[in-house]
């Protein structure tokens, strides 16, 4: 059984349409209508011309832009920026005034506008800035490509030096904590991708695992972040250790807040003073203010 071919069927349909069009034109009485015979041939010929013209306009506008690429990534999330969005250098300056006044950016007469803008953006490294610079490495402007490559190399060196400094710390507890933070910051920066990013996360988890075994105090938010990554990396021993630590933290926090509430309700201010000696004063004071506000709401 012969299979249908979309290309052949489309060609046959176009030929049949042209045939019927020709038959209809010849049935018209006026001789001027014979010019309509050219329409089935004009439209297929005009399509490629229009396509080439549009492509030429797009390439021209891309080459003559002051800053090409998604420069708004430096300030906004990626889902807020359409792939074709572009901003000129002057508009970029308006958008980054919160980072540095425009007068300070332009006061160096020996630096180009594009170099000044990119230098200011990279002062606040983030995954959005890295995304911007990685896109700028493929820019048709030679200066943009050179500056973006230089800044990416500078960022990479900054993270690498931080990791090396942390690895050289003599104290094992402090070394594990700082090295874990340095590796985690590098992995989250957007610079490493694929297997390199996974390796950076594994190094971070390894150091934080050592810190937990040394009973180094870590923030609850960091523990949750590490637990998420341990699950993704399928590191079961660390996952169980983190879950146990978070559960213990929750129980300790619950006992602490319960003790505070009980002393407040019993007007045991001597006990409050003792709690301030065992815990950070700001935490005790903050919870005390919440209890006062809660009681005032109950008894206006």
pLDDT in tens, 128-173: 667 777 777 777 777 777 777 777 888 888 888 888 888 888 888 8
**pLDDT recorded at residue 274:** 61
With bands split at pLDDT 50, 70 and 90, how would you rate the model's confidence at 107?
very low
Q: Which of 117, 119, 112, 121 is nearest to 73 (CA)?
A: 121
**Cα separation values, 130 from 136, 183, 195, 299, Å:** 10, 17, 18, 54
How confident is the model over 254-272, as pLDDT tens digits? Answer: 666 666 666 666 665 556 5
pTM: 0.47
Task: List Cα–Cα distances, 163 to 20, 62, 101, 122, 139, in angstroms.
Answer: 76, 39, 33, 20, 31
């Amino acid at each position: 059984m012969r299979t249908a071919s979309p290309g052949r069927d489309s060609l046959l349909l176009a030929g049949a349409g042209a045939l019927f069009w020709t038959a209809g034109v010849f049935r018209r009485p006026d001789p001027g209508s014979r010019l309509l015979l050219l329409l089935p041939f004009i439209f297929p010929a005009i399509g490629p011309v229009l396509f080439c013209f549009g492509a030429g306009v797009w390439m021209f506008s891309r080459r003559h832009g002051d800053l090409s690429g998604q420069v708004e990534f430096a300030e906004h999330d990626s889902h807020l920026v359409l792939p074709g969005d572009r901003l000129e250098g002057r508009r970029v300056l308006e958008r980054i005034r919160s980072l540095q006044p425009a007068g300070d950016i332009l006061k160096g007469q020996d630096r180009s506008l594009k170099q000044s803008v990119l230098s200011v953006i990279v002062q606040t490294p983030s995954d959005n800035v890295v995304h911007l610079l990685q896109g700028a490495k493929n820019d048709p402007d030679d200066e943009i490509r050179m500056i973006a490559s230089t800044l990416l190399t500078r960022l990479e060196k900054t993270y690498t030096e931080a990791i090396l400094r942390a690895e050289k710390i003599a104290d094992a507890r402090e070394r594990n904590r700082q090295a874990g933070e340095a590796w985690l910051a590098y992995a989250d920066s957007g610079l490493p991708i694929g297997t390199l990013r996974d390796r950076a996360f594994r190094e971070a988890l390894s150091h934080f695992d050592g810190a937990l075994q040394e009973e180094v105090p870590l923030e609850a938010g960091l523990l949750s972040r590490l637990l998420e990554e341990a699950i993704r990396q399928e590191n079961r021993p660390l996952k169980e250790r983190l879950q146990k630590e978070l559960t213990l933290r929750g129980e300790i926090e619950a006992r602490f807040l319960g003790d505070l509430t009980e002393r407040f309700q019993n007007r045991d201010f001597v006990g409050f003073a003792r709690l301030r000696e065992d815990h950070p004063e700001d935490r005790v004071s903050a919870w005390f203010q919440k209890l006062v506000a809660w009681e005032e709401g109950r008894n206006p």
